[in-house]
Amino acid sequence: MRIRTYLIKIQFFKKYLTNCNFFTIAIPFLILFFHSASYAELHKVRHAIDGDTLLLMNGEKVRLIGVNTPEITRPQKPVQYFGKEAHLFTSQMVDGKEVRCEFEKQRRDKYGRLLAYVYLLDGTFLNAEIIKQGYGFAYTRFPFKYSEEFRKYERTARENKKGLWGAMGSPHKSGMEADIFRLDILRILIYPYSTFLRII
């Protein structure tokens, strides 16, 4: 299995080289290919289901590890605040593109979806980018290897009023709930204590 993982990494690197110039290769290569022994696979994305869930061409659904975005697909419930924007951001990033999915030991959640860290061919770490740009929250209910980094990305996005953090202080947009994501907002208010108190 480990050999298969590294063969996949080599294949991904070849594709990556065709999309980058020399000066953008070294650092992403070192980070993406030598930082861990996680299992990895190449897949093509059909489309984003919402901000944190993807549908692959093979029919598999992928839930991004460590990030939570406002919902747009809950049955009989309205779209959550900034959900459409988060969905659009992820769609523009990955729809129709080939990506590298990296897994931890637990490959699936209770709904049968693959749990993955997703990387674009240019080295962009999708899970992290969603949080950095303010389209989602660091989802820390379960431990994962980038939890501390993701919390820092969220804090920086909040301080810089990125995405939903800036929009929260603006008039509510038409068609969006005024009081959604209450649990996440409560978690924001008690952020300094989130090490021992998890709201989500």
51-110 tens-digit pLDDT:
999 999 999 999 999 999 988 877 767 778 888 999 999 999 999 999 999 999 899 999
Indicate the residue type of 172: H
- Predicted pLDDT of residue 112: 95
Q: Going along 51-183, which residue ranges are E strands?
A: 53-56, 61-64, 67-68, 98-103, 114-120, 137-138
Q: How many domains does the chain have?
A: 1
The answer as to whether 21 is a domain residue is yes
Residue 199 lies in a domain: no
This prediction has a pTM of 0.68
* Residue 112 dihedral angles phi and psi, to the nearest 5°: 85, 5
* Residue carrying structure tokens 């590890």: 65
Residue 29, pLDDT > 60, answer: no
Q: Is residue 152 included in any domain, yes or no?
A: yes
Active-site position among 100, 113, 158, 187: 113
Q: Which residue has the tokens 């907002």?
A: 185
167 belongs to a structural domain: yes
Per-residue pLDDT tens digits for 104-130 = 989 999 999 999 999 999 999 999 999
* DSSP count for the chain of H helices, then E strands: 7, 7
CATH number at residue 70: 2.40.50.90
Residue 95 structure tokens:
């729809």
pLDDT of residue 26: 57
User: Does residue 34 sit within a domain?
Assistant: yes
> Which candidate in 63, 100, 151, 187 is catalytic?
63
Active-site annotation holds for 63: yes
**Nearest by Cα to 135 from 64, 78, 198:** 64
| Count, residues in the chain | 200
Domain that holds residue 84: 2-193
Task: Report which of residues 192 and 163 the model is more confident about.
Answer: 163
- Asked if residue 45 belongs to a domain, the reply is yes
Bridge partner residues of 120 (DSSP)? 99
Q: Is residue 109 part of a domain?
A: yes
pLDDT tens string 13-22: 566 666 666 5
Please say whether the dihedral angle defined by the alpha carbons of residues 117, 198, 83 and 61, taken in this order, is positive or negative: positive
Tokens of 48: 């984003």
Domain membership flag for residue 98:
yes
Residue 65: name the closest of 121, 155, 147, 120 by CA: 147
Three-state DSSP class for residue 13 = helix
